[in-house]
Structure 1
Amino acid sequence: MANWNKIGLGLGAVAIVAVAAAGTWAYTTLNTGRSGVADDKVALADLSDADPEAVARGEYVMRSGDCVACHTGQGAGNAGAFAGGYEIHTPFGTLVASNITPDRDTGIGSWTERDFFDALRHGRGGDGMLYPAMPYTAYAKLSDQDMHDLWAYMSTVTPVKNAVDETAGMPFPYNIRLAMAGWNMLFFDNSGFEPVAGETEEWNRGKYLVDGAGHCSSCHTSRNGLGAEIAATYLQGAVIDGWFAPELTSNPHVGLGGSSAEDVARYLTTGSDGVAFAAGPMAEAVENSTQYLTPEDAKAIGTYLVSLPGSSNRKPQPMGDGPAMQQAALAYEVNCSACHGLQGEGIEALAPAFAGNHAIQSDNVTSIAAAVLRGARAVHTETLPTAGGMPAFGWKFDDAQVAGLLDYIRNSWGNAAAPVNAADVARIRAEMGVDAKIATN
């Protein structure tokens, strides 16, 4: 009996420790106490005397965070800037971005600054827990000053009455917002930014922008089955909305290896580093966000990114010059060389180069296959106003021909990459709804 009593006491102690640990875990994850610095009395719609300097700084924070891109609808769903309606497709269903204008009824006009802080930093919205498609997991790093300034800016946005059902496209049980409390306990680091000791002020500023407002890992880091970022693959590339967001580390083959901080800054502020051009979702990010960065902040981001060790992906041996490659070389010369050059050199400020382009040598061919199949548009910025257009070739080439063309591009002019499987091209074609090659007989 004594032994059983000891076992019972031991199990009781373990249970107490477990409950205490779970309580601490829940508190540190779900606690919003650090946002108590925000005002909790004045509603956004009533804030009419914001400091002009704070508003100007807040607009810069908004640009850094690319808020307007996701909170502005597209096409027939565009009710105005920040009025919501933008669809975000996830493996669990479709979310619709909310109206964040100062409208009292359908926007955030009735929110106080504290409500605003809780939403951006902690994922607590007016209708309950937010989904991490809204990157509060990154915005948690924003400083008090940046949050105050962003709030001041939002008070100057034109109110728009536009009711949005954010979870209409989320099937049961993913439409249950309360479940996100458990997700947060598992995956959410509810803490602010802390500078890394021993690193320069510029490096830390770059990390703050990358991990905070820029939320770069939201697209460039792969996720697990529950939609949480996998820390071990930080900024090592991921598929997003039918595009592959490439690796943003110093990996010399598929990352930023060989690029300088200045090269990265040039890409962010103009849309091109002289080799690659931003397209797809990154074109939107450059147009709406990064082209507005100050030269100092753009370079700080570059300084941070080129310092990251990155993945172990190594350069393979290039494919041999067999009959298939010779046939693909002819197809390239006829269809691609006018813009991209006979030696893959591209056209300055208009068409991307292929020679030495790390992004196209990734094991994941989603983006380059998508560009061939459905076409693409290069970024449009104030510095590079003439955005080059890539025509679609999905109607002209079958899957095997696309795979062969990609093999040639990815293994010429010093490039080297693994062979492309025609079945992967077929899958990408199907996912993007691109019709099959037009029959000619």
Structure 2
Amino acid sequence: MSRLRLVIAFLFLAPCGSALARDPLTEGQYLTTAGDCASCHTARNGKPMAGGRVVPTPFGAIPSPNLTPDAETGLGTWTADDFYKALHEGISHDGTSLYPAFPFTSYTKVTRADSDAMFAYLKSLPAVRNPATPNTLRWPYRMRSLMASWRLMYFDEGEYQPDPKQSKAWNRGAYLVQGLGHCNECHANRNSFGAMATEPFLAGGLVPVQNWYAPDLSMGRDGGLAGWSEADVVALLKTGRSAKGTALGPMAEVVVKSTQHLTDDDLAAIAVYLKSLPPRPPVTQRGNAVDAATVAQAGQKVYAQHCAACHATDGRGKGAAYPALDANASVTEPTGINAIRTVLSGGFAPATAGNPRPYSMPPFSQVLSDEDAAAVVTYIRHAWSNRASSVSPADVRAYRSIPGAN
């Protein structure tokens, strides 16, 4: 058989969309993008993957390491085995335990084949010399020896194992969400030792230090995405906006650097998996010592003056430009912090290939008093079909006191 006939035979026999049909370095780049590695490992105005971006944690700041193949400061002396061990076990090539600011707790599910492809891609990048800077973790958290106990209590090692009872799309979605996408690292509460809750999975949580609430991602009854369709999920991940809401804060960066670049099949698979998450028990909303009816009445007046022109009197938004506030997960999340910070600091949707000129919401920090801001947030959390808790002027003041909030 001639070489040409062999090539033609290979192309017809190779599974559609498989790694075999893709150039290995292209596959590695795609997987690295799916893992959103650039968000942490590329500093602002820095070289791609050269590290240096500071990752804030409640225990101190951790600068991200250099992932380029520089021999002295990057992955130049690493092997594919070293890289897999870092992803799979959370152990660096020198044998030290990595801090869980690096999400090895999720990356442990990455397959060896995908790990090798990612490593090959990173080794193909231009080498950049960028020495690591020390972390500023407080004592005793900077003691790596403590990681042995932490790992014993909170880390379950193991590659993702497909569920034979589920579809191919479901398993692909589960692999991306649980592993490469490491979604639970943000969409879960964490305990006082920085370990994320795993049950119920993707149930939502406050992102440490950043003060954004990452909502519950379940689409069933009482879930954070109740009422969303699979198409709504795909639209948000691909363009940064959907009929049900807009990606803001840390999620906007995820869309820009990661999910907008995923294939339609992978985005659909993620939606299939999220839709399968079990129904949640109703969330117990925290209460505030405020007269909700009186505050909401005052908030309705603020809403009519400043918000209704864009978001509509009925809270359904206007077209593709202004998102609905009725049944909006960012409005009804348990803490109220997302609505407070968006009202005060504005809302800035990501610019993506599918939405290159997004509309943004102006900040009202200098326009609204603490009382007015609390009133309008309480109103939108109570209005229409929303049944979330009230917020108080003290909640607004607490946000204003955060450095850089205004």
TM-score, scaled relative to structure 2:
0.88
Measure how far apart 1:370 and its partner are. 1.0
Asked if residue 353 in structure 1 is aligned to residue 324 in structure 2, the reply is: yes
Residue number among 92, 96, 103 corresponding to 1:125 in the alignment: 92
Spell out, residue by residue over 1:48-70, the C-alpha distance to the aligned partner (whole angstroms, 9 max, x if none): xxx98110111110111000111
**Structure-to-structure mapping, 1:130-169, within 5 angstroms:** 130-167=98-135, 169=136
What pairs up with 1:329-408 in 2 under 5 angstroms? Answer: 329-408=300-379
Q: Give the share of equivalent positions with the same residue, in percent.
A: 37
Contact 2:75 2:123 in 1 (8 A): no
User: Match of 1:311?
Assistant: 280
Q: State the Cα distance separating 1:433 from its structure 2 match.
A: 4.2
Please say if residues 28 and 120 of structure 2, whose CA atoms lie closer than 8 Å, have aligned partners that are also in contact.
Answer: yes
Q: Deviations over 1:66-95 (max 9, x none)?
A: 001110112xxx431111111111111111
Distance 1:434 1:289, change over 3 A: closer
Deviates more, 1:357-366 or 1:236-245: 357-366
| Partner residue of 1:235 out of 202, 217, 221 | 202
What is the Cα deviation at residue 393 of structure 1? Answer: 1.4
Which of 26, 39, 52 does residue 69 from structure 1 map onto? Answer: 39
Provide the secondary structure at the position in 1 that maps to 2:25: helix
The one of 249, 272, 277 aligned to 1:280: 249
Deviation at 1:253? 4.2
| C-alpha distance in structure 2 between counterparts of 1:350 and 1:82, whole Å | 34
- The answer to whether residue 224 in structure 2 is matched with residue 255 in structure 1 is yes
CA deviation map 1:277-314 (0-9, x unaligned): 00100000000001111111111111111111253125
Q: Measure, in 1, the Cα distance between the counterparts of 2:116 and 2:140.
A: 35
> What SS does the corresponding residue of 2:389 show, helix, strand or coil?
coil
Amino acid of the residue matched to residue 390 of structure 2? Answer: P
**Greater C-alpha radius of gyration:** 1
In structure 2, the gaps of 5 or more residues are 1-20
Which residue is equivalent to 1:46?
Answer: none
Distance in 1 (alpha carbons) for counterparts of 2:321 and 2:93: 45
Residue equivalent to 1:216: 183
CA displacement, residues 105-163 of structure 1 (integer Å, 9 cap, x when unaligned): 11111211111111122111246211111111111101121112111211221211111
Q: How far apart, in 2, do the equivalents of 1:53 and 1:166 lie?
A: 37
Distance 1:333 1:253 in 2: 29
Change (3 A) 1:412 1:154: same
Deviation of residue 250 (structure 1)?
A: 2.6
- The Cα shift of 1:421 comes to 2.4
**Backbone CA RMSD of aligned residues:** 2.1
Bigger shift: residues 202-211 or 156-165: 156-165
Shift of residue 321, structure 1, vs aligned partner: 9.2
1:300 corresponds to 2:265 = no
The count of aligned residue pairs is 379
Residue 291 (1) aligns with residue 274 (2): no
Deviations 1:218-274 (A, max 9, x none): 000111111111222421111111100000013434512222222211211111222
What's the secondary structure of 2:194's corresponding residue? coil
Q: Return the alpha-carbon distance in structure 1 between the equivalents of residues 250 and 83 of structure 2.
A: 26
What is the Cα deviation at residue 422 of structure 1? 2.3
Counterpart-to-counterpart distance in 2, 1:320 and 1:424: 15
1:414 aligns to 2:385 (yes or no)? yes
Inter-partner Cα distance in structure 2 for 1:366 and 1:84:
30
Residue in 2 aligned with 1:174? Answer: 141
Q: 2:16 aligns to what?
A: none
Is the 8 Å Cα contact of residues 121 and 139 (structure 1) preserved in structure 2? yes
Given that 1:101 and 1:157 are in contact with CA atoms closer than 8 Å, whether structure 2 keeps it comes out as yes
Deviation at 1:323, TM superposition (A): 4.8
Rounded to whole Å, the distance in 2 between the matches of 1:320 and 1:270 is: 39
Pairing 1:194–2:161 present: yes
- Give the C-alpha shift of residue 429 in structure 1: 2.0
- Greater alpha carbon shift after TM alignment, 407-416 vs 64-73: 407-416
Question: In the alignment, residue 263 of structure 1 is paired with which amino acid?
Answer: D
Tell me the distance in 2 between the aligned counterparts of 1:69 and 1:331: 37
Q: Deviation per CA, 1:345-387, whole angstroms, max 9, x where unpaired?
A: 2233322211221331122111111111222311211000112
After superposition, give the CA deviation of every residue in 1:391-434 in whole Å (9 maximum; x if it has no partner): 22122222222111011111222222111122222222212444
Aligned equivalents of 1:125, 1:148: Cα separation in 2: 16
Distance 2:145 2:283 in 1: 43
Contact 1:376 1:390 in 2 (8 A): yes
Structure 1 residues 344, 320: closer, same or farther in 2, change over 3 A? Answer: farther
- Aligned residue number for residue 58 of structure 1: 28
Take 1:156 and 1:328, find their aligned partners in 2: how far apart are those partners?
Answer: 56
The 3-state SS of whatever aligns with 1:224 is coil
Unaligned runs of at least 5 residues, structure 1: 1-50, 436-441
CA distance in structure 2 between the aligned counterparts of 1:374 and 1:266, rounded to whole angstroms: 25
CA distance in 2, matches of 1:133, 1:108: 19
Distance 2:171 2:291 in 1: 44
User: Aligned partner of 2:383: which letter?
Assistant: S
Q: Distance in 2 between matches of 1:160 and 1:339?
A: 46
* 8 A contact 2:221–2:280 mirrored in 1: no
Equivalent pair of 2:298/2:372 in contact (CA under 8 Å): no
Displacement after TM superposition at 1:196 (Å): 2.0
CA distance in 1, matches of 2:292, 2:203: 30
SS in 1 for 2:241: coil
3-state SS of paired residue (1:88): strand
